[in-house]
C-alpha cells in the first residue's frame, strides 16, 4: 500500500482503478494476476483492515457504520412522491466500499433479469454468460445435513462457487421466528425455493450471507480480494486519496491518459498507459465523468465544466429498490437486536459470546426471505388490470426498458421481497418501553421510477463545482410512470398482513402498529398513505452509467465492453452500468460485473 501520493504518482501504471470498493478491488485483483501489468487503485476512504473495532467485521453489528466516518453520508433531494422527504443514502467510504457497510445479503436475480440486459442489445450479459462470473467470485460453505433439516437451508451445488475470494454461507443459528417462516409461507401457497442462486428469485428461502464461517466475520472486498494479494509487486493501493477528474487528451479523438488526485492537500496527475477504470459506484461514477467533461451539455454548462464529450445519459436512468417497514407488536418473550444494543449488560454478554466461541446474538442475521409475484398476492382479474396499465405506460414512454419491466406481469418473477425479523426497523415508529416488536420489510424489485445523479450548478456564492460538492441525487420515487410503483407497493402490503395473520407465524403476533389498523373500508387508502410517508431506500442504486445496447450513446454511457462512449481508454465497472434493476440485493451481481469486466479488459488488450 502506497504511503504518499508522490510515490504513487511516480509509478508508470498500465491501469488506474478509481475506487477501492466492491467492484474496484475485484477488478484490480484480477488484472494484477498478470505480473507484467502494473495496477494502481485510488480509494477516497481509509483502510479499516487494521483498525476496525468490530463494527464492520462482526456480522450481527450490521448497520453500526451507517452515518459513521466510513459512510459518504449522501442524501437525496426532497422527493415530491414521498411528501417532500429527503432520504439518507449510505455509501461506503472505506477500502472495500459498500461491501463493508451492507447487510451481507448474497443472492442473484432471476435469470430473466439478466436476459433482459442482453435483449436491450448487450451481448454477453445474459444469465448463462454471467453465471461463470458469479461462481468465480465466491466460495460457498454448504450447511451440514442437520442444519439443512432443522432450518430448511437447502442448496444446489452446481450453482455455488467453490474457489472464489468472497466467503458465503448459511448462518449457524437463526432468530426465533424463523422456525415458523417456511411453513407459514407454504400455507399461503408460496413454495420453498431449493436454491435462490440457481436463476429464480421466486418463493421462500433462507438468505445466504457473506460471512466466513470459521471466524464468523464479514467477508467483504478488502479482506477477500485485496488482502490475499496485497504483497504483489505490481499492485499498488493508496487510500484517503480523492480523484478530482479523469485526464483527457485529444489524440485523434479523446483519450483517457490518467487522473488528477488529491492526498493530504497535495494534488498530482497520475498517468495510466492503458486505461482508467472508474469503479466509484452509481453516485460517484457519473459525478467523476461530469467533472471530467463527459456528460449532458446543460448539466456541464450550468456547473461551469467545459464539455469534451456530449454524453446525454451520464447520471440518468437511476433506479433503486424502494422499501417499507411494517411493524408488529409481538409476544414479550421474543428478544431482539434492539434490546441488546440498548442495554450495556446484554451488549457485553453478546460480545463475550462472540469473542469466546463465535456464537450468540452477533452471529444471527435477518435471513427469513420470500420473493412473491403479484399473481400470489392479488386475484387474476386485478392482475390483468395491472398488466394492462403497465402496457399503457410502455406505449406512452416508448422505452424499451419499460417494455421489459412490464413483461414481469405476464411472466411472473419475485416482484416483491419480504424479510421478517424481530425488532423495530422503522425510522418512523418509536418503540414503547416494555413492548417487543417485529418488522416485515417489503421491497419493490422492478420499479418504473427513474431518476438521476448530477453535479450541482454554479451559484453566486459557489463559483466553482468540484469533487467536494455532493452530487444531487434525485431518484424521483413514485413520480410520472413511477406512480405505478406506489400502487404495487400498496398492493404488496396485503401480503405482509396475510403472512403475519397466518399460522404458525401469527402465534407470536399481537397486532400491527405501523401502519395503524385503519377503519373498516379504509385499509387500501391507509396502505397508500403508508407507502408515501414511510418508503425508504433499500440502498441498491444502479443504472447511472448504463450499457446503451442497441441505441448506444442515445440510451446509455458505456457499450457492452463497458467502454465509455466517445473516449478511448476509459471504462466504468460497477453497479452503474446495469441498464435495468434486478430482483435481488445487488452485491453478488456487482462482484460478477467486476469479474466479467476485468476479464473483458484483459481480452481486449490481448487482441
Conformation bin of residue 84: beta by default, left when phi > 0, alpha when psi is -120 to 50: left
pTM of this structure: 0.97
- Strand-pairing partners, residue 168, are 140
Q: How distant is the alpha carbon of residue 129 from its chain centre?
A: 21
DSSP character at residue 547: B
The answer, yes or no, to whether residue 220 has pLDDT greater than 80, is yes
Q: What is the mean pLDDT of residues 149-168?
A: 96
Instruction: Give the span between the Cα atoms of 290 and 288, in whole angstroms.
Output: 5
| C-beta contacts of 393-401 below 8 A and 24+ residues apart | 393/448, 393/481, 393/484, 396/481, 397/481, 400/120, 400/549, 400/550, 400/551, 400/555, 401/120, 401/317, 401/579, 401/580
Q: Is 585 a catalytic residue?
A: yes
pLDDT band (50, 70, 90) for residue 607: confident
DSSP H/E element including 41: strand 39-42
Q: What is the mean pLDDT of residues 516-539?
A: 90
Handedness of CA 100, 102, 104, 108 (dihedral sign): negative
Q: What is the mean pLDDT of residues 88-107?
A: 96
| 178 annotated as belonging to a binding site for a ligand | no
- In this structure, the dihedral spanned by the alpha carbons of residues 118, 121, 124 and 129, taken in order and rounded to 10 degrees, is 10
Tell me the pLDDT tens digit for each residue of 360-376: 999 999 999 999 999 99
Instruction: Give the span between the Cα atoms of 344 and 334, in whole angstroms.
Output: 18
Residue whose grid cell is 451440514: 144
The answer, yes or no, to whether residue 176 has pLDDT greater than 90, is no
Pairing mode of beta strands 452-454, 472-474: antiparallel
Give the other-Cβ count within 10 Å of 322's Cβ. 27
Rounded to 5°, angle at Cα 68 from 67 and 70: 115
Residue 2's pLDDT is what? 65
Distance set, CA 252 to CA 249, 293, 601 (Å):
9, 17, 22
Residue 137's pLDDT is what? 98
Residue 235's pLDDT is what? 98
Active-site residue identified among 110, 182, 263, 540 = 540
Q: What is the mean pLDDT of residues 138-166?
A: 96
Tell me the pLDDT tens digit for each residue of 472-490: 999 999 999 999 999 999 9
The answer, yes or no, to whether residue 445 has pLDDT greater than 80, is yes
Q: Is 321 a catalytic residue?
A: no
Residue 240's pLDDT is what? 97
Share of the chain above pLDDT 70, in %: 99
Residue 521's pLDDT is what? 73
Handedness of CA 370, 376, 382, 388 (dihedral sign): positive
Find all residues with CB under 8 Å of 39, minimum gap 6, and list them.
Answer: 13, 14, 15, 16, 17, 28, 31, 32, 234, 235, 236
| 127 annotated as belonging to a binding site for a ligand | no
State the cell numbers at 526: 391507509
- Rounded to whole angstroms, the maximal C-alpha distance in the chain is 72
| 466 annotated as belonging to a binding site for a ligand | no
| 369 annotated as belonging to a binding site for a ligand | no
- Average pLDDT, whole number, for the chain? 95
What stretches of 108-205 show up as alpha helix (H) in DSSP? 111-119, 127-137, 145-151, 178-187
What stretches of 176-280 show up as alpha helix (H) in DSSP? 178-187, 221
| C-beta contacts of 268-273 below 8 A and 24+ residues apart | 268/5, 268/6, 268/9, 269/9, 270/8, 270/9, 270/13, 270/16, 270/40, 270/42, 271/9, 271/12, 271/13, 271/247, 272/13, 272/14, 272/15, 272/16, 272/40, 272/569, 273/12, 273/13, 273/14
Is 475 or 338 the better-scoring residue by pLDDT?
475
pLDDT band (50, 70, 90) for residue 264: very high
Residue whose grid cell is 466504468: 572
DSSP H/E element including 298: helix 297-303
CB-based contact 405:449 (threshold 8 Å): no
Residue 334's pLDDT is what? 67
pLDDT band (50, 70, 90) for residue 584: very high
Pairing mode of beta strands 13-18, 266-278: parallel
Find all residues with CB under 8 Å of 596, minimum gap 6, and list them.
Answer: 124, 129, 130, 133
> What is the DSSP secondary-structure string of 456-468?
PPPBTTB----TT
Conformation bin of residue 417: beta by default, left when phi > 0, alpha when psi is -120 to 50: beta
The answer, yes or no, to whether residue 421 has pLDDT greater than 70, is yes
Instruction: Give the span between the Cα atoms of 127 and 114, in whole angstroms.
Output: 5
Instruction: Give the span between the Cα atoms of 367 and 60, in whole angstroms.
Output: 12
Q: How distant is the alpha carbon of residue 399 from its chain centre?
A: 24
State the cell numbers at 414: 419475485
State the cell numbers at 127: 444469465
Instruction: Give the span between the Cα atoms of 115 and 572, in whole angstroms.
Output: 21
Residue 520's pLDDT is what? 67
Active-site residue identified among 182, 263, 454, 585 = 585
Share of the chain above pLDDT 90, in %: 91
| 94 annotated as belonging to a binding site for a ligand | yes
pLDDT band (50, 70, 90) for residue 339: confident
pLDDT band (50, 70, 90) for residue 237: very high
Could you give the 3-state DSSP secondary structure of residue 561?
A: coil
Could you give the 3-state DSSP secondary structure of residue 87?
A: coil
Q: What is the mean pLDDT of residues 38-60?
A: 93
Tell me the pLDDT tens digit for each residue of 118-130: 999 999 999 999 9
The answer, yes or no, to whether residue 341 has pLDDT greater than 90, is no
Amino acid at each position: 500500500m502506497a504511503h504518499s501520493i508522490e510515490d504513487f504518482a511516480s509509478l508508470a501504471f498500465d491501469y488506474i482503478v478509481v475506487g477501492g470498493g466492491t467492484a474496484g478491488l475485484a477488478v484490480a485483483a484480477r488484472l494484477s494476476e498478470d505480473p507484467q501489468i502494473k495496477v494502481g487503485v485510488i480509494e477516497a476512504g481509509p483502510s479499516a483492515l487494521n483498525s476496525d473495532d468490530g463494527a464492520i467485521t462482526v456480522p450481527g453489528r450490521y448497520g453500526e457504520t451507517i452515518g459513521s466516518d466510513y459512510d459518504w453520508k449522501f442524501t437525496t433531494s426532497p422527493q415530491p412522491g414521498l411528501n417532500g422527504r429527503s432520504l439518507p443514502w449510505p455509501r461506503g467510504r472505506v477500502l472495500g466500499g459498500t461491501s463493508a457497510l451492507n447487510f451481507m445479503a448474497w443472492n442473484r436475480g432471476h435469470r430473466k433479469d439478466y436476459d433482459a440486459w442482453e435483449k436491450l442489445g448487450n451481448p454477453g450479459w445474459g444469465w448463462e454468460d454471467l453465471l461463470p462470473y458469479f461462481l468465480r467470485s465466491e466460495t460457498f460453505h454448504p450447511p451440514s445435513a442437520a442444519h439443512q433439516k432443522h432450518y430448511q437451508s437447502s442448496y444446489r451445488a452446481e450453482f455455488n462457487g467453490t474457489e472464489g475470494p468472497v466467503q458465503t454461507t448459511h448462518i449457524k443459528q437463526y432468530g426465533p421466528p424463523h422456525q415458523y417462516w417456511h411453513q407459514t409461507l407454504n400455507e399461503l401457497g408460496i413454495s420453498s425455493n431449493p436454491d435462490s442462486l440457481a436463476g429464480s428469485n421466486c418463493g421462500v428461502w433462507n438468505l445466504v450471507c457473506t460471512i466466513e464461517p470459521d471466524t464468523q466475520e464479514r467477508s467483504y472486498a478488502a479482506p477477500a480480494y485485496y488482502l490475499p494479494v496485497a504483497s504483489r509487486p505490481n499492485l499498488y493501493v493508496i487510500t484517503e486519496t480523492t480523484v478530482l477528474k479523469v485526464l483527457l487528451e485529444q489524440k485523434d479523438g479523446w483519450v483517457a491518459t490518467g487522473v488528477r488526485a488529491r492526498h493530504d492537500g497535495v494534488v498530482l496527475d497520475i498517468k495510466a498507459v492503458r486505461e482508467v477504470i472508474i469503479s466509484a459506484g452509481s453516485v460517484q461514477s457519473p459525478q467523476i465523468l461530469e467533472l471530467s467533461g463527459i456528460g449532458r451539455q446543460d448539466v456541464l454548462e450550468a456547473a461551469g465544466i467545459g464539455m469534451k464529450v456530449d454524453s446525454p445519459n451520464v447520471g440518468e436512468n437511476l433506479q433503486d429498490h424502494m422499501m417499507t417497514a411494517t411493524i408488529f407488536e409481538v409476544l414479550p418473550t421474543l428478544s431482539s437486536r434492539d434490546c441488546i444494543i440498548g442495554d450495556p449488560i446484554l451488549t457485553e454478554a453478546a460480545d463475550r459470546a462472540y469473542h469466546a466461541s463465535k456464537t450468540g446474538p452477533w452471529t444471527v442475521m435477518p435471513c427469513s426471505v420470500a420473493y412473491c409475484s403479484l399473481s400470489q398476492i392479488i386475484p387474476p382479474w386485478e392482475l390483468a388490470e395491472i398488466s394492462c396499465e403497465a402496457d399503457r405506460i410502455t406505449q406512452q414512454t416508448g422505452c424499451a426498458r419499460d417494455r421489459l419491466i412490464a413483461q414481469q406481469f405476464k411472466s411472473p418473477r419475485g416482484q416483491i421481497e419480504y424479510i421478517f425479523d424481530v425488532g423495530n426497523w422503522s425510522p418512523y415508529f418509536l418503540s414503547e418501553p416494555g413492548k417487543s416488536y417485529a418488522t416485515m420489510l417489503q421491497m419493490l424489485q422492478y420499479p418504473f421510477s427513474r431518476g438521476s445523479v448530477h453535479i450541482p450548478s454554479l451559484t453566486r456564492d459557489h463559483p466553482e463545482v468540484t469533487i467536494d460538492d455532493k452530487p444531487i441525487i434525485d431518484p424521483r420515487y413514485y413520480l410520472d410512470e413511477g406512480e405505478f410503483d406506489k400502487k404495487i407497493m400498496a398492493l404488496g402490503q396485503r401480503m405482509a398482513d396475510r403472512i403475519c395473520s397466518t399460522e404458525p407465524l401469527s402465534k407470536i403476533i399481537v397486532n400491527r402498529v405501523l401502519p395503524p389498523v385503519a377503519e373498516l373500508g379504509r385499509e387500501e387508502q391507509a396502505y397508500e398513505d403508508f407507502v408515501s410517508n414511510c418508503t425508504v431506500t433499500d440502498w441498491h442504486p444502479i443504472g447511472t452509467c448504463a450499457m446503451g445496447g442497441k441505441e448506444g450513446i442515445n440510451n446509455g454511457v458505456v457499450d457492452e465492453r463497458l467502454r465509455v462512449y466517445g473516449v478511448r481508454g476509459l471504462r466504468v465497472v460497477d453497479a452503474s452500468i446495469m441498464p435495468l434493476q434486478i430482483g435481488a440485493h445487488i452485491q453478488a451481481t456487482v462482484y460478477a460485473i467486476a469479474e466479467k469486466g476485468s476479464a473483458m479488459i484483459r481480452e481486449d488488450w490481448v487482441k
